[in-house]
Structure 1
Amino acid sequence: MKVNKKGIISAILLVSIGIVFGALLVSGFGFVRPGLADINLGAKIPPVNLDADATSFSKAFIEVAEKVTPAIVQITVVAERENPHEDFFFFPFKDLPEEQRGSGSGIIISEDGYILTNNHVVEKATKVTVNLADKRTFDAEVVGTDPLTDLAVIKIDAKNLTVAYLGDSDNLKVGQWVMAIGNPLSLSSTVTAGIVSAIGRGQLGLIRDSYGVENFIQTDAVINPGNSGGALVDLSGAVVGVNSAIATRGTGTYIGYGFAIPINLAKTVAQEIIAYGKVNRGYIGINIGEVDNAIAKSVGLDKPRGIIINGIIEGGAASETDLKSGDIILKIDGKEVNKPNELQSYVASKTAGTTVKLTIFRDGKELERKVILKPRDEKTKAEPVAKKDNKDSDKGGKKDIISLDNIGMTVRNLTQKEKDTYKVSDGIIITDVKSFSKADDQRLFKGLVIVEADRKPVEDVEQFRKLIDSRKGSAVLLKVQDADGNSRFVGLEIPE
């Protein structure tokens, strides 16, 4: 039999090609896809093996979110639209609806439907609707509001609701973990976390009233529009604050910090509103300011502490005691106060008729005085600095201007017309303040009248210059007044 060598060679060649090609197919060229069961993605074990403490820490956040969220509601309001162009002669969009829709959050504080929220959420509302976490919806009525603390209470007709546990905000510490729970940007039941960044934060200008109480908890837990009225809670699930405001630069959204009203203050306000429909708040009846290093030095305090009384309100509670302008309040009911908003917040939690005990510093001594808080009289005014005395001679025509270069200030004697305008019998007026000087550092400016120095009336510029010269290397306490009758104390350090 004759063998066909070419055919054998061709067959061998084809088999070889098939083997090579098959090997290529099952190799890494990807021409054959692996089965689903053969696909293994990611590493085999996590890079970190959580210990019991870390697992428990994470679990705390989870449990708080699960337990507290049902007690937080979403509030939708229909309110009167404010026309930002109402003072313009022509507004092309005059046919816009007269009402607008807004939203916020609230905290259920009773099983029968009382809900705590912010005043700014429900003010001017013509309709208020509450959406529960279980998706039920109720119409609500506004029980009462308190603009001075930006708090309000609303009520829905419901029973057996999940109630939030209200904690003790006085025990909060900077650095403590907290969670913000609410409904920001219309996103229901949102939870964020952060720490308490600061406590007792005031002078933010959020409440534009001289009697407004600003004593906020500052947090870096993310708070956005819609969170207002929601809860700031600790890791035990206790509500420690009512979310109220955010730090922003024109965007209206969060850029780093949010602010919450301490729950201890909110509880007192809520109880008053539920009981009476309003807050029957008591007042001491004083104008106050912070004690800085210069004031402390000028009055003989060992360090800056306490709150200085700038003025006594006529007809107020303090006017019925021997409290005086220039007294420094160190404690109230045994609690130290070092910022005006700390004192305001404490007093705001007390009702009219309550007696408080003040520890004051006067003439180098600590004294105790009791004050029975009185309700605020809308017609009261700060006491005048001094009674007008028309018999005082007019020194304005003399060469009575002096420059005090060491403190960066120029002063002159008052004319009789100026005394009548400022309603003072004594004093000198500031005519110039140098930038970055000692006087400028203490916010003294042109047009202020210096009525007292070291608790004594200032009669003329020469008397004032002698006092300044005698206090070099020390400090002097000044009482100054503006043209509107507002007065305050200033500690002015005098260089050597």
Structure 2
Amino acid sequence: MQAQFFVQRGAALLTLCLVLLGSSLASAPAPAAGTANPLLSVVRVEARVPGDSRTASRLGTERAGAGVVIADDGLILTIGYLILEADEVSVTDRNGRRFPADIVAYDHATGFGLLRAYEGLSVPSVALGSSAAVESRQKALAASVGPVPALPVEVRSVHPFAGGWEYLIDGAIFTAPPIPEFGGAALFGEDGRLLGIGSLILQDADGSGQTGNMFVPIDLLKPILADLLAFGRSTEPARPWIGLYPTEVNGYLIVSGVSEGGPAETAGLRFGDLLVAVDGAPVTDMAAFFRLVWALGPAGTRIPLTVLREGKIHVVDVESRDRHSWLKLGRTY
């Protein structure tokens, strides 16, 4: 069904989206060779994840979204959670042709994932842009797969983003209106260059209550790309992972869950614990909590957490780990 949609209506919709963009990609300065129509670089990504994987319960075992070809050898950039712990991955181009793909890398700190498709994938690569130059009210184009393959959008804000899976990035790009198939979607600037990769749909993208998407800025990829290609991950010291899911509730940070077999569960942290301090430093919000934890040292560092539980203060020492050692990775490398 998806393939038939691409074949029958893809070309017309791509042309329409270019016209709707206003300062259209078609009239902008030409990007690198082979990317005159960057929408052709967007492919569908499908992954099968074994049921015993650590992330199966939260992310499912059948995952699908988009990816963007960023090199002529079939290298594809996507959002990492689509392919995390997968043992089978495939990509489909806009002509409905499907190709097997190998997982090249996964980086939790940024959220990026890399694939490489072989056996005849012939899709033009797109050039990387500069997300550092992105500003509020800037026009852009979000491109994905599905019934809405592309959508003119506006950048509503650019600021740090913290997610409850021990995730924090600077320069996240928030856009509206939302593109429905946001996972791995591409955000293109007016010159056709890639500015970011879609991660989330949010009920409030800019503080006004408008629904939109969050894109991971492409500049986060550039310093680690060589490592990802060579080693499958960044060679920077791994951050301490504690396997805890905090949620902000009325100005407080509450434990909403712990990873099975992870450091927090092993240390005895529970659902409903109120996080008070990290190594004696008061916790104010999720971003501050992560920064305090990571500032104590690399993976393996002991993390003293002060929590309020049933009206009593407890200090819990958590032996942090490298998250990669807990995940079941490497099945298609």
TM bucket normalised to smaller: 0.5 to 0.7
Following superposition, the deviation at residue 447 of structure 1 comes to 4.7
The aligned counterpart of 1:262 is 217
Which one-letter code corresponds to 2:24 in the other structure? A
8 Å Cα contact 2:99-2:121 kept in structure 1: no
Aligned to 2:245: none
Contact kept? 1:74, 1:131, Cα under 8 Å: yes
Query: Equivalents in 2 of 1:63, 1:272: separation in Å?
Result: 36
Q: What are the ranges of 5 or more consecutive residues in structure 1 without an aligned counterpart?
A: 1-54, 88-98, 250-254, 286-309, 313-324, 327-338, 348-370, 385-421, 423-429, 431-444, 449-481, 487-496
**2:186 maps to 1:222:** no
Deviations 1:377-433 (A, max 9, x none): 3x211379xxxxxxxxxxxxxxxxxxxxxxxxxxxxxxxxxxxxx8xxxxxxx9xxx
- Aligned position for 2:156: 197
Shift of 1:283: 6.8
Offset at residue 193 of structure 1 (A): 1.8
- Number of aligned residue pairs: give it: 243
In 1, distance between residues paired with 2:179 and 2:91? 20
**Residue 311 of structure 1, CA deviation:** 6.6
Question: Hey, what does 2:101 align to over in structure 1?
Answer: 140
- The answer to whether the Cα contact below 8 Å between 1:200 and 1:342 also exists between their aligned partners in 2 is no
Q: Does 1:72 align with 2:59?
A: no
* Bigger radius of gyration among the two: 1
Q: How does 1:262-301 map to 2 (within 5 A)?
A: 262-282=217-237
Instruction: Give the direction of change, closer, same or farther, for the CA distance of 1:227–1:56 in structure 2 (3 Å limit).
Output: closer
Name the Cα RMSD after superposition.
4.3
| Inter-partner Cα distance in structure 2 for 1:56 and 1:248 | 24
Give the deviation of 1:277 after TM superposition: 1.4
Contact 2:103 2:116 in 1 (8 A): yes
Any idea what the Cα deviations from partners look like across 1:197-245, whole Å, max 9, x if unmatched?
A: 111232342xx12xx3333211113222x33112111111121111111
Q: For residues 5-24 of structure 1, what are the structure 2 equivalents within 5 Å?
A: none
| Residue number in structure 2 paired with 1:292 | none
Q: Secondary structure at the match of 2:169?
A: coil
1:40-119 mapped onto 2 (5 Å cutoff):
58=22, 60-61=24-25, 67-81=37-51, 100-119=61-80
Q: Which amino acid aligns with 1:166?
A: L
TM-aligned CA distance change 1:129 to 1:176, over 3 Å:
same
Of 83, 88, 93, the residue aligned with 1:127 is 88
2: CA distance, partners of 1:284 / 1:128: 28
- Tell me the SS of whatever aligns to 2:316: coil
Specify the code of the residue in structure 1 equivalent to 2:211: G
Distance 1:68 1:311, change over 3 A: same
**Residue deviations 1:290-332 (CA, integer Å, cap 9, x gap):** xxxxxxxxxxxxxxxxxxxx878xxxxxxxxxxxx98xxxxxx
Q: Tell me if 1:169 matches 2:131.
A: yes
2:328 equivalent to 1:381: no
Distance in 2 between the 1:271 and 1:121 partners? 21
Name the amino acid aligned to 1:232.
L
Q: Residue in 2 aligned with 1:213?
A: 168
Q: 1:62 to 1:446 in 2, by over 3 A?
A: farther
Distance 1:120 1:155 in 2: 16
Q: Using CA pairs below 8 Å that are at least 6 residues apart, which structure has the higher relative contact order?
A: 2
Deviation at 1:485, TM superposition (A): 5.7
How has the CA–CA distance of structure 1 residues 171 and 447 changed in structure 2, closer, same or farther, with 3 Å as cutoff? farther
CA 163–340 in structure 1, closer or farther in 2 if over 3 Å, else same: farther
Equivalent pair of 1:151/1:269 in contact (CA under 8 Å):
no
**For the residues of structure 2 that align with 1:233 and 1:340, how far apart are their CA atoms?**
31
Matched to 1:192, the amino acid is L
Decide whether the 8 Å contact of 1:130 with 1:139 is kept in 2: yes
* 1:233 is aligned to 2:195: no
What does 1:362-373 correspond to in 2, within 5 Å? none
**Equivalences for residues 396-407 of structure 1 within 5 A:** none
* TM-score scaled by length of structure 2: 0.60
Residue aligned with 1:268, SS = coil
Partner Cα distance (2:316, 2:290) in 1: 26
> Aligned residue for 1:180?
142
Q: CA deviation at 1:111?
A: 0.2
Q: CA separation of 1:227/1:175 partners in 2, compared to 1, >3 Å: closer, same or farther?
A: same
Q: Does the 8 A contact of 2:197 with 2:215 survive in 1? A: yes
- Cα deviation for residue 262 of structure 1 reads 0.7
CA displacement at 1:248 relative to structure 2: 4.8
Partner secondary structure for residue 230 of structure 2: helix
One-letter identity of the residue aligned with 2:22? S
Amino acid of the structure 2 residue aligned with 1:195 = E
TM-score, scaled to structure 1: 0.42
Runs of 5+ unmatched residues, structure 2: 1-18, 29-34, 205-209, 241-276, 282-286, 319-333
Give the counterpart letter for 1:221 in structure 2.
P
